[in-house]
Amino acid sequence: MAELTYAVETQGAVMTGEAEFARRTEPFRKELLAHCYRMLASVHEAEDVVQETYLRAWRSYSAFEGRSSIRVWLYRIATNACLTALEQRGRRALPSGLGAPATDLAPGPAAADVAFVEPMADSLVLSESSDPASIVTTRESLRLALIAALQYLPAKQRAVLILREVLAFPAAEVARMLDTSVAAVKSTLQRARARLDETAFGEITEPTDPHAQALLAEYITGFENADTAALERALRADAAIEMVGTTTWFNGRVMCLRVLAEAVGSPGDWRMLPIVANGQPAVGAYVRSPAGDYEPYGVAVLTPTPTGLTRISVFSTPSLVTRFGLPATLPAD
């Protein structure tokens, strides 16, 4: 009887511990996912690292002494898990970071040996209950150009810059997270700032802004109605199109319009559903099949500015549409 009582009490203690652990750690899951995504530029890799972070945290929770906050402790585990993951692979990129723009319309071959930056749905890291200021700040730190630029930094510089500049952790906290000195953190941050491409912080209009919504509407109209005039109105003179998954990208409104004019086909060939990715307006794209319904094509992330769209990043991966919570197919009109 004593053994049975001990077993029941032990099981109850474990269940109580799990509940307490979940209560204290779950509120940070979405922001940890955003952090790991900034480090890794891959949604599925970030999700894996967050799962690993929570597993490691649970295993060592009984030894947590409260010398730092739960949030700092989780970030320490997550950041070091990201650094370990980065030791095993090269950086991710966008086509514009791999070479010069294309000078003709011939599609480039798929680059199977290149790891590309992946788009992230805002809904994965933002809650409807978040305050507006927090939403804006998070979106700014997830812009596609910034995520791509971060990948050019060495892993330790990337970690320090994100922890200090994006998340605003004190230098002393960052030093403890990375088992280094405050002086080393400050020096690393200076080098990271010097290397980071300034274009990563260019002016981008919020996706909820009426002007950004108008540009999104022009883009959707252009494709669904095969209306190249609408696309021309939306594009800035220095606009670029990136065909993610290949090394091909196009630069300048004239060249981009040639690409788009060839892509739009006939009215009704495309259906576009608006979404938000990386804090930017985007669409889930569907193309009409021979049967008349619409099959998924992928996701296009738009970069709106006060003077027009400056970049269209096309991710021609059909499975992306369902990752953004969209239907796997659309019925015929």
Predicted TM-score of the model (pTM): 0.91
Q: pLDDT value at position 4? A: 43
Q: pLDDT value at position 201? A: 63
Which of 162-170's residues contact partners 24+ apart within 8 Å by CB, and which partners? 162/35, 162/38, 162/39, 163/75, 163/79, 164/189, 165/189, 165/193, 166/38, 166/141, 167/35, 167/75, 169/72, 169/75
> In sequence order, what are the beta bridge partners of 266?
none
Residue 108 DSSP symbol: P
How many CB atoms sit inside 10 A of residue 235's CB? 25
Chunked mean pLDDT (size 10), the chain, 333 residues: 47 68 94 97 97 95 83 96 92 93 82 91 86 87 94 95 95 95 96 78 86 97 97 96 95 96 96 97 97 96 96 96 96 87
**Rounded to whole angstroms, what are the CA distances from 159 to 81, 191, 221, 279, 289?**
11, 12, 41, 21, 45
Q: pLDDT value at position 273? A: 98
Residue 190 contacts residue 161 (beta carbons within 8 Å): no
Q: How far apart are CA 309 and CA 203, in angstroms?
A: 11
Beta pairing, strands 235-244 & 308-315: parallel
Q: How far apart are CA 189 and CA 120, in angstroms?
A: 26
Q: pLDDT value at position 12? A: 52
**Rounded to whole angstroms, what are the CA distances from 116 to 101, 121, 144?**
17, 16, 12
What CATH code would you report for 91-130+204-333? 3.10.450.50
Q: pLDDT value at position 113? A: 85
The residue ranges of every structural domain in the chain are 1-89, 91-130+204-333
Q: How far apart are CA 181 and CA 175, in angstroms?
A: 5
Q: pLDDT value at position 84? A: 96
Residue 122 DSSP symbol: G
∠ CA(312), CA(317), CA(319), 5° rounding? 130
Q: pLDDT value at position 2? A: 53
CATH architecture of 1-89: Orthogonal Bundle (1.10)
Q: pLDDT value at position 250? A: 97
